[in-house]
Chains A and B, each alone.
Chain A
Amino acid sequence: MEHKLICANKLTIGYHSRPADRAVMSGLNFSLDGGQMACIVGANGIGKSTLLRTVIGAQPALQGSVRIRGVDVGRMHARSLSRLVSIVLTHKTMTGGLTAAEVVALGRTPHTGFWGRLTSADRRIVERSMALAGIDRKAASPMAELSDGERQKVMIAKALAQECPVMILDEPTAFLDTAGRIETMQLLHRLTRTERKAIMLTTHDVGLATRLADRLWLMTPGGMTCGVPEDLIARGALDSLTAGTSIRFDAASGTFETTPDIGAGISLHCPDATLKRLIMTALSRNDIDRAGTDIRIEAQSATSISVLTDGQRHQCTSIGRMLDCLSAQAAADGEPEDF
């Protein structure tokens, strides 16, 4: 254990307060090595950010300790820690008037002298960091003109310029669009491989995390479960994130799914698993309840779906038409009672 880059033993995180300390979570054990990415997942308020704040030394541990290269983070000076751990946070900064390159250059702060002047070596590191993060083309642009995704890359480049073995990111995908989320996570994954960084991040993107994380740290009210994502999925551990709901993690699709409820009185027959799932989702969303009837849906392909009821066969050319057909029948069945 002691050989790992980061490790924690029987760690209690929380807040010092009077009359008694308020523990958020206790008995945490984890470790992470260079070249690995750990994604911390868990519900809001479970203590993900508290854990990160404890690891970066912004908040003292209530019990136990986090050690980086064997040294207790809580006993380290800000200056020494600044050469071991770099951070990327969610909150907006007031750096609109600085260029992307100037923000990345701030990452050199722990290495520059009293006036913060950059040497040519510093400038090379800044350029390389921007290239690694894929933001080098925007080097001269003011931060105010960058998109959220580009700003995130600038902050990641800043963290790289700091040249720390450990990178900590608080919800790096929070404000990004779909492409930005995937790109950012892929970038971080790549940095563990090419730069041998140890990366620890929090995210709500469990699907992406299961695909790209080397370790998944699952925080639930019962404690933190750590493991390779596939092991946690195989054990059904991810379902604890959605305990108390009908939502389950689907191992095949890698996403959380509600168990589709296709409605009473309907039977669905489809040889293609993907098409079957799509039709089930459509039926489930539309709350088609035909209890007391006997409707049989036969789907040969997405453009050939038959609805059989009372011996009649309606041929539909799309899932949308199928839904129209079902609701028309429901309306027709309801009519006699109205008049």
Chain B
Amino acid sequence: MNVNRNTIVLAAAGVATALLFAANLFVGSVHIPFGQVVDIVLGRGAEKETWEFIVLQTRLPQAVTAAICGASLATAGLLLQTVFANPLAGPSVLGISSGAGLGVALVIMAGGALGIGGFGAEIAGALAGAGAGLAAIVLFSTRVGSSTSLLIIGLMLSYLTSAAITLLNFGASAEKAHAFMVWGLGNFSGVGLQRLPALAIPCLAGLAVATLLVKPLNAMTLGTDYARNLGINTVRTRNLLLGATGILTAATTAFCGPIAFIGLAVPHIARLLTRSAGHHRLLPATMLTGVATALLCNMACIAPGNGTVLPLNAVTPVIGAPVVIYVVINRRRINYFN
């Protein structure tokens, strides 16, 4: 009965995700007739060349970017919540995304003096910053046994990097401060077709690692001591999980900015859907739900319909925060973390 329910849930999520993906191609800040989009997708061309360009060069890579980032951030959140046995763990709390933020801030606000700039440099800065944040947390994880302590250290690292960013902001020109602010708003549209592989390859690698670790992840739900007693190499598992999380977060943050709430909220939505904490079901459900959520947020950004595009980080909390509040309020009834 459980298997049936699980199959139905996954199938429904799959169909919803496919529909959302298609919808992302049909909706945008520029109005393109429905039939024309169908023609373009089927390779029959369109009345206007610009429409073809918009669908194939803008909307398609943007939808693919949203899908990859959604799956990546949601999976990163799930891995962290399992490793730290904490429902409020997410990619933005371990100092990884704030490390990326610091890297980008350095490039935007201090890079000019060194002749560094541009989108490529921002990505390099984000990757370097995320890498440094990850290295710091891995270094601490070899010295600190408890996952909760590590979570607190991650939070403190985030505060330290925010302090550095604030300082950079304070000294920067209004124009540069604005540029950094815009990066911080989050955006699925900046990647484009050419750079898509650079985002997709590390993300798919991270997702593959997560998938390969399903068995140790299940054992880890019992806690480190039980997992070790079940023959799991807990140190290696934790390092691999943190590494995968770091890659997933660094890549998405580098290309799309620090996207809030998807990593934190989506695993909870997946748990509510599958009604299970078993990773055989939870991991695929989390990936699919992550894709769907990101695509939904991407569409919601153009909701005003008058050509205005809302910042992504203005939309994700609207979907994410109520989920987290719902879960916290109903914790006694839902209870998958006690």
- Smallest Cβ-Cβ distance to B224: which chain A residue: A58
Question: Quick one: CB contact mask for B206-230 with A, threshold 8 Å, 1 for yes?
Answer: 0000000011001101110110111
Question: Quick one: CB contact mask for A79-113 with B, threshold 8 Å, 1 for yes?
Answer: 10111011101011111111000110011011010
Report how many residues on chain B are interfacial, defined by Cβ distance under 8 Å.
27
Q: A96-B335, A116-B214 are in contact. Are A110 and B230 (CB under 8 A)?
A: yes
Q: A56-B229, A98-B278 are in contact. Are A142 and B222 (CB under 8 A)?
A: no
CB distance from A296 to the nearest CB of B (A): 58
Instruction: Chain B residues near A89: list those with CB within 8 A.
Output: 223, 225-226
Contact call B338/A94, Cβ cutoff below 8 A = yes
Q: A94-B337, A96-B337 are in contact. Are A116 and B229 (CB under 8 A)?
A: no
| Measured CA separation A102–B225 after assembly (Å) | 18
Interface residue A114 (Cβ < 8 Å from any Cβ of B): yes
Q: A58-B225, A93-B223, A97-B277 are in contact. Are A109 and B230 (CB under 8 A)?
A: yes
Bin chain A's interface residue count.
Answer: 20 to 34
CB distance from A321 to the nearest CB of B (A): 47
Contact call A110/B231, Cβ cutoff below 8 A = yes
Complex A-B, nearest 8 residue pairs according to Cβ-Cβ distance, in ascending order: A97-B336, A97-B277, A82-B231, A144-B335, A116-B215, A109-B230, A96-B335, A110-B231
13 additional A-B pairs beyond A85-B229, A86-B229, A89-B226, beta carbons within 8 Å, are A78-B231, A81-B229, A82-B229, A82-B231, A87-B225, A94-B221, A96-B337, A97-B278, A98-B277, A106-B222, A106-B226, A110-B230, A115-B215
A142 contacts which of B214, B225, B335 (Cβ < 8 Å)? B335
Contact call A116/B218, Cβ cutoff below 8 A = yes
Instruction: Chain B residues near A79: list those with CB within 8 A.
Output: 231
| Measured CA separation A78–B271 after assembly (Å) | 31
| Measured CA separation A102–B219 after assembly (Å) | 11
Interface residue A210 (Cβ < 8 Å from any Cβ of B): no
B221, B230, B278, B337: which has the most chain A beta carbons within 10 Å?
B230
Contact call B276/A98, Cβ cutoff below 8 A = yes
Residues A37-60 near B (CB distance < 8 A): 56, 58
Interface residue B57 (Cβ < 8 Å from any Cβ of A): no
CB distance from A77 to the nearest CB of B (A): 8
| Measured CA separation A97–B226 after assembly (Å) | 17
Instruction: Chain A residues near B232: list those with CB within 8 A.
Output: 78, 109
- Smallest Cβ-Cβ distance to B279: which chain A residue: A116
- Smallest Cβ-Cβ distance to B85: which chain A residue: A94
Question: Quick one: CB contact mask for A145-176 with B, threshold 8 Å, 1 for yes?
Answer: 10000000000000000100000000000000
- Smallest Cβ-Cβ distance to A82: which chain B residue: B231
Instruction: Chain A residues near B337: list those with CB within 8 A.
Output: 94, 96-97
Instruction: Chain A residues near B225: list those with CB within 8 A.
Output: 58, 87, 89, 91
| Measured CA separation A186–B338 after assembly (Å) | 27
- Smallest Cβ-Cβ distance to B87: which chain A residue: A94
Contact call B219/A106, Cβ cutoff below 8 A = yes
| Measured CA separation A331–B56 after assembly (Å) | 99
What are 11 residue pairs bridging A and B, where the CB atoms are less than 8 Å apart in the complex? A82-B229, A82-B230, A87-B229, A93-B221, A93-B222, A94-B85, A94-B337, A96-B277, A97-B335, A112-B215, A115-B215
